[in-house]
Structure 1
Amino acid sequence: MTEVLFYHLQGRTIEQVLPPLLEKSLARGWRVVVQSTSEERADALDSHLWTYRDDSFLPHATWRVADAAHQPILLTTGEGNPNGAKVRFLVDNAALPEDSGSYERMVLLFNGDDDEAVAMARDAWKQCKAKAFEVTYWQADEAGRWQRRD
């Protein structure tokens, strides 16, 4: 069954939140697809993942590379799954893909200060519940630690 985690971002950006979550995914041996809504945004995330921390890097590429199928993390704007990922991150209001049920986990990061993003997340929550996916909602506490909310 597909597990879907909804991360409610407030006071934090995707650039701050995404890299540690990707690191955890790789540590578990998972291949990942990160879907954004524009080529410019995918390119910006591509640049950021090379430089977000001095002592680390995340092996990744965009869907444009010839060896996309071999990338542990693939940034894309489309619904495909060229690297056979088991985990899909949806950022910048990216819609649930048609093949949602083929993933072990999907992670939807949304900006809690953006009414459109909140509305899209609510709609995605309803879609996931209708598909009988296991859904959880996460929000950072005052110290910045992610807490599951019911």
Structure 2
Amino acid sequence: MSEAGSGEIWFYHLERSTLDQVLPELLDRTLQRGWRALVRVGDPGLMETLDERLWAWREDAFLAHGRADQPHSERQPILLTSDSANGNGAQALFIVDRSDMDASEPFERCFIIFDGRDEESLQHARGRWKTLKEAGANLAYWKQTEQGKWEKAA
């Protein structure tokens, strides 16, 4: 997805928060930037959970979104999908649950979100980092401080 000089790839290492706590915040910031988002999810159960979570994100707000397998998916500001098509013309790609990623995808930014408490996810993310680094990708690594704030560590 990112040869040297193209889009950024940001790794988010979850240690203190869960995916359903972090993802809505990142999606909200993405929309505030004027971008559309594509959330690639491999597990159908997780897709269902995220779909529900985004509608009930906060008491006073929700994140408008849709699923790629539903009508009018191309109009959605946030699109949940399990395939590689960029069905809503998104500028931001979110990779969760070790979903696939194509090295040639033309996104402004890719967020790879992984659970640092799960050894398999951690090893997968390390392997992905190494492969992308060797390919000359524009990488950043973010981790949470003890106060819950995100800090760029690499």
After TM superposition, the score normalised by the length of structure 2 is 0.92
Question: Is 2:143 the counterpart of 1:136?
Answer: no
The structural deviation recorded for 1:99 is 3.5
Q: Say which of 22, 25, 28 aligns to 2:27.
A: 22
Question: Is 2:152 the counterpart of 1:148?
Answer: yes
The answer (yes or no) to whether the contact 1:96–1:124 under 8 Å persists in 2 is no
Distance, in Å, in 2 between the alignment partners of 1:107 and 1:127 is: 16
Q: Say which of 109, 112, 116 aligns to 2:120.
A: 116
Partner of 2:21, secondary structure, is: helix
**Unmatched 5+ stretches in structure 1:** none
Partner of 2:58, secondary structure, is: coil
Show the counterpart of 1:54: 59
Distance, in Å, in 1 between the alignment partners of 2:135 and 2:30 is: 24
Show the counterpart of 2:41: 36
Range 49-58 or range 129-138, more displaced: 129-138
The structural deviation recorded for 1:126 is 1.9
- The structure 1 segments of at least 4 consecutive aligned residues displaced by more than 3 Å after TM superposition are none
Range 91-100 or range 113-122, more displaced: 91-100
The structural deviation recorded for 1:97 is 2.6
The answer (yes or no) to whether the contact 2:14–2:115 under 8 Å persists in 1 is yes
Distance, in Å, in 2 between the alignment partners of 1:2 and 1:133 is: 8
Q: What is the identity, as a one-letter code, of the residue corresponding to 1:52?
A: W
Deviations, residues 42-98 of structure 1 (Å, cap 9, x unaligned): 111001100121111111001111111111100011111111111100011112235
**Unmatched 5+ stretches in structure 2:** 1-5
> For the aligned residues, what is the CA RMSD?
1.1
Distance, in Å, in 2 between the alignment partners of 1:12 and 1:145 is: 10
Distance, in Å, in 1 between the alignment partners of 2:31 and 2:133 is: 27
The answer (yes or no) to whether the contact 1:95–1:124 under 8 Å persists in 2 is no
After TM superposition, the score normalised by the length of structure 1 is 0.94
Range 62-71 or range 25-34, more displaced: 62-71
Q: What is the identity, as a one-letter code, of the residue corresponding to 1:16?
A: Q
Distance, in Å, in 1 between the alignment partners of 2:136 and 2:76 is: 30
